[in-house]
Amino acid sequence: MFGFWVFLMSDAILFGMGVRDLRDLGACHAGGPSLPALRHQKRLRRDPLLLASSFTFGMASLALKYKARHAAADRMVLAATLILGVPFLCFRTA
């Protein structure tokens, strides 16, 4: 379980660093795509879905591990994970 949370924290940190770099280096693109061109990429819309669904799955797995007695809340968290995960999977990679 500890490994999952380390992965989730490192994923959030790397995502935040990427967003910060896009913000800070928006004018310096050295021949690559400019910031306005990157804003239209689907990845910027897809990554927050992945982070949020990972977090909700972590909450559900903790509830199952500690056998929480709120079955309706557990189902709601798993439904939120599904609602966030399906659009992530439906985005095309191209």
Longest Cα–Cα distance in the chain: 56
pLDDT at 25: 67
Amino acid at 90: C
Query: What is residue 39's predicted lDDT score, i.e. its pLDDT?
Result: 64
Domain count, the chain: 1
The pLDDT score that the predictor gives to residue 94 is 46
Residue ranges in the chain modelled with pLDDT below 70: 22-44, 68, 92-94
Residues 6 or more apart whose CB falls under 8 angstroms from that of 56 comprise 77, 78, 80, 81, 84
Token pair, residue 33, equals 């795509």
Domain that holds residue 10: 2-90
